[in-house]
Amino acid sequence: MALSVLCLALAWAQVAADVTIAVVGAVNVDITMQVNRLPRRHETLMASSPAVQLALGGKGANQAVAAARQGARVRFLGRFGNDSHGPWLQQVLIENGVDTSACEQSALPSGQGMVMLDADGGASSVVVPGANSDWGSLQPGVLQSMLQGAAVLLLQREIPEAVNVAAAKAAKVLGITVMQDVGGEDGPLSEELLGLVDFISPNENELHRLTGLPTATRSEVLAAARSLNCTVLVTLGERGALLITEAEVLDARAFQAQVVDATAAGDAFRAAFAVALSEGQSLQSGLRLASAAGAIAVSRRGAEPSLPRRHECEALLRTPPEVLPEKPASASLGFASRLNSMRERLDLWGGATDTLGLVARQGRVRGLGAVYFNFPQHLAGLSPSEVLAALAAANLKAGGIALRFPESMRLGAFTNPDANVRRQAVDLTIQGCAWADALGAEEVVVWPQFDGYDYQLQIDYTHAWSTTVASLREVLDSAPCRSKKVSYEFKPTDAVSRFSLVPSTGAALLLLQEVDRANLGLTLDVGHLLMAGENPAQSVAMVGAAGKLFGIHLNDGHSRLGAEDGLIFGSVHGRAALELVFWLQKTRYAGSIYFDTFPTNEDPVREAELNIRQFQKLAKVAQTSGRSIDPLLQQHDALGVLELMEAYGDVHIVKRCRGYLYAKFDSETAAQLVLRAARQKLAVAGRELSVEVATARKKHWHCQIDEAYPPRVRRLQDGVVLIQHMLSMAMQSRVVQEVFALGASPQGFYTPQFGDREMKLRTFCLGKHWDTQSHAYGALRSDIDHRAVLPLPPFLSALAQGVLSDLDQKCGVKMFPDLQPDTCIVNHYTSEGSLGLHADLDESECSLIAGVPVVSMSFGCSCRFLYGEDAVLLKSGDIFIFGGPARRLSHGVAKIFPNTTPKKLQEVLPAGRLNLTFRQS
């Protein structure tokens, strides 16, 4: 839904003391039991607490209470059960200040949420809908009465969708903002409901389910959210939240909190955001309040008991938020390579050949970022400080520790018949975790190469399995390993054990299920998967879907009679390699890419670099073609995929120029396929881009692509900031078209005069008009034609505020006082040459004293802009901001340079320069 509808609705909202939040949703009794861990199938566990806890629950009731505790007047429409819980639930709502007069009692018992809360604060629930499913025929009059006077309506997905649709329709008639929480029913939102809401609000996993797109990184979240074509508020746990509108993207950092119970954190977040909107706060302020509410909620046990009050949130708002690093993007993962491969072709290496010498040689591999050390072999006799120094000298970091059990364990490590040997294997693994901690690595890879057998009737399979499970549990529960990602690497056969105890991906997943520890995952090796007769991509899909893909080892081989060739990735099974990379992206893999290859005759440095390039090339093709492949997957269309791959050529960025990239395709067919499959968006080299018309260029085809050009912030002097490349070409085009459409109206452009001299520009005001005679702002153009001033479009004011918010985030400090723009002065310079210089006289003295900033946006021809005694070149898409003491500087356009409008913009701005200046009168 357009952001303008939201802003208009909020403008009509009453002041905070009078606003009302309406909530239509579910009310449950939450029955919470505490457990040390979740039970497995067919398993019975004792709870860790002697009794269950009862509390008000249900997303609708939680959000109603959360909004009331934030100071809003709340009306709730739900269904209470006919059991003893019904009156109690209603009383809890009333005691929290929630109006329940519109609610009815059902003939069914109350809805119930069975919550199992583990020791880490994670909650798993089963909801029995009960009365929440019994709405019958909802009368429109009930909804109209219940919604009367509300500013925001909160909806969730724990009641029938038909009820949500009816409520949203009634809200639209009354001009009420509608926020749809995606939590609840696990299914797609109907197009009808999507068309009625102003916000949809999923968490990261819900956004992934809604769109089928990866959401592991900020860029992936943005791409998924924008595919929904509406305003999206997505919560990202410890990474905060993002609000994605058609005009801007706003970030909310997470506050540091000890997670005790996350059951109602999302409800607290969304309710607080809705309250802020109803109070007329800015979107950014609303996100901050919501983040504080969510952080407090996760630190307390229970649903309704965890919901914070306003004064608690305001106290937390006075503390700085925690800044957490973003997960690495799947398109630009860190690369690592087998350290022992550096022992090959020593004729090409004149340095040392010990571990530290091998690290130095690996440092010569362009694009490599991490080293995995075999333990104990690589680290014997070394200290962590020596290793860290060598890594720093090679500009590398430790990626992880790879366990290599000694020959003394040939009868097995975790499966050895001797309990003392099994103890040694456990202790060695724990020592590996300690080394990983000392080197700053997060991963420990366990390859128990001796855990298998050569002959039938050689081992007791069930006993070997149980000792492996027990050993891994002991490792994972130890203090050094508890904070590490321990990754089990299976290999179906090896020279030291013809049959592995864990011979397949399925068996490995079964092992993980039985060990039942969150920090245990799998490392999949392509060569091992081929030896097992598996399709590597399918194995990645299975393990990734289970959330257990901790590592991937890439290589290739001819798979002849159990041989493990360790060849360059994609050199033999090219199509399989592409599919594997596609599924790494689809399952949102965010670990290292490790090349486990054996360049016995090749230069290992060049070989590693080729592996990196090969993966990057395949990742680019997989990203670019992914949107084309997905519908073919759904239809099991083998020929369609093969034809797509046949036509698809390499994609390369061949040229960058202002606001554009030019991508080269190997054939006309490939370019047209991309154009048909991704008319709105295309991913090239990890960037999400808008595709324009493909045009022939010699032997290749190029697509002109509009990219969000990376902005550059320049602080010119105290109170003066220039942001270059801030506005993408798509945004510039939209602004110019909308402003010119407004300017063509009777209240639009006119030619001003200064004394007897006619100015070399056209101008008009939005929001308020500056009267040159009375020297005051007003709603009429009293000194021109006495017409009413056109309103300032909400999307333009939001754009100006968003620029300042983005500036604060990029710089890490608040650069200027808050701007609440109520006026936009539109100037269209139609002539070149020198123009007038002026100082700001058309604002209130208090605004000048406060230093409230002016935001000036440039479109079209470049110009020389004067401010005080200095000058700067402004280009199309640049933003010039001056505030604080700089507000009193004389400033103005001195010269306009002809024929400098970007080519894409010439379609909507054929001549001259357009300037928008946002002010707070």
Percent of the chain residues topping a pLDDT of 70: 84
pLDDT exceeds 60 at position 498: yes
> Which pLDDT score is estimated for 891?
79
The annotation places the binding site for substrate at: 28-30, 58-62, 158, 267
Q: Percentage helix, strand, coil, to 5, in the chain? A: 35, 25, 40
Q: Which residue has the higher pLDDT, 294 or 703?
A: 294
Percent of the chain residues topping a pLDDT of 90: 44
> What confidence tier does 122 reach under pLDDT thresholds 50, 70, 90?
low
Tens digits of residue pLDDT in 354-400: 999 999 999 999 989 999 999 999 999 999 999 999 999 998 999 99
Tens digits of residue pLDDT in 649-666: 544 444 444 344 455 555
Say how far apart CA 619 and CA 331 lie, in whole Å. Answer: 6
Write phi, then psi, for 375 (nearest 5 degrees).
Answer: -120, 130
Lowest mean pLDDT among 5-9, 579-583, 667-671, 700-704: 5-9
Cα-Cα-Cα-Cα dihedral of 465, 468, 470, 471, to 10°? 170
pLDDT exceeds 70 at position 166: yes
Sequence-separated (6 or more) residues with CB below 8 Å from residue 673: 628, 644, 647, 648
Q: Which residue has the higher pLDDT, 146 or 580?
A: 580
Contacts 24+ apart (CB under 8 A), 644-652: 644/673, 645/575, 645/578, 647/673, 648/621, 648/624, 648/673, 650/617, 650/620, 650/621, 651/620, 651/621, 651/624, 651/684
- 11-25 as b/e, with b when 16 or more CB fall inside 10 Å? eebeebeebbbbbbb
The annotation places the binding site at: 28-30, 58-62, 158, 203, 235-240, 261, 263, 266-267, 297, 300, 302, 306
The mean pLDDT of 792-813, rounded to a whole number, is 81
Map residue 619 onto helix, strand or coil.
helix
User: Burial level of 585, CB count in 10 A (0-12/13-18/19+)?
Assistant: buried
> What confidence tier does 534 reach under pLDDT thresholds 50, 70, 90?
very high
> Which pLDDT score is estimated for 665?
53
> What confidence tier does 667 reach under pLDDT thresholds 50, 70, 90?
low
Residues forming a β-bridge with 375: 403
Tens digits of residue pLDDT in 878-899: 999 988 777 777 778 888 888 8
Number of DSSP helices (H) and strands (E) in the chain, helices first: 26, 46
Say how far apart CA 432 and CA 546 lie, in whole Å. Answer: 26
Task: Please count the residues of the chain.
Answer: 921
> What confidence tier does 159 reach under pLDDT thresholds 50, 70, 90?
very high
Radius of gyration, CA atoms only, the chain: 32
pLDDT exceeds 70 at position 89: yes
Say how far apart CA 290 and CA 179 lie, in whole Å. Answer: 14
Tens digits of residue pLDDT in 580-629: 999 998 888 888 999 999 998 999 999 999 999 989 888 877 776 666 67
Tokens standing for residue 8: 């208009």
The mean pLDDT of 248-255, rounded to a whole number, is 84
pTM of the model: 0.47
Say how far apart CA 512 and CA 276 lie, in whole Å. Answer: 45
**Residue 545 CB: number of other CB atoms within 10 A?**
12
> Which pLDDT score is estimated for 138?
72
> Contact at 8 Å (CB) between 117 and 33?
yes
The annotation places the binding site for K(+) at: 261, 263, 297, 300, 302, 306
> Which pLDDT score is estimated for 72?
92
> Contact at 8 Å (CB) between 287 and 272?
no
pLDDT exceeds 60 at position 840: no
Enzyme catalytic residues: 267
> What confidence tier does 755 reach under pLDDT thresholds 50, 70, 90?
low
User: The tokens 């999923």 sit on which residue?
Assistant: 202
Say how far apart CA 288 and CA 803 lie, in whole Å. Answer: 17
Tens digits of residue pLDDT in 169-183: 999 888 899 999 998
> What confidence tier does 121 reach under pLDDT thresholds 50, 70, 90?
low
User: The tokens 């457990």 sit on which residue?
Assistant: 35
Residues forming a β-bridge with 662: 655, 704
Say how far apart CA 434 and CA 440 lie, in whole Å. Answer: 10
Instruction: Give the residue from 363, 373, 332 showing the smallest Cα distance to 593.
Output: 332
The annotation places the binding site for ATP at: 203, 235-240, 266-267
Q: Please give the distance of CA 693 from its chain centroid, rounded to a whole number.
A: 29
- Please give the mean pLDDT across all residues of the chain: 82
pLDDT exceeds 70 at position 706: no
User: DSSP assignment of 840-893, as one string?
Assistant: --SS-HHHHHHT--EEEEEEES-EEEEETTEEEEE-TT-EEEE-GGGGGSEEEE
Cis peptide leading into residue 305 (ω within 30°): no
Q: Which residue has the higher pLDDT, 719 or 504?
A: 504
User: Burial level of 805, CB count in 10 A (0-12/13-18/19+)?
Assistant: buried
Tokens standing for residue 333: 């993962």
Residues forming a β-bridge with 628: none
Largest separation between any pair of C-alpha atoms in the chain: 108
User: The tokens 């969510």 sit on which residue?
Assistant: 294
What type of residue sits at position 140? Answer: P
Tokens standing for residue 239: 């990474």
User: The tokens 């492949």 sit on which residue?
Assistant: 629
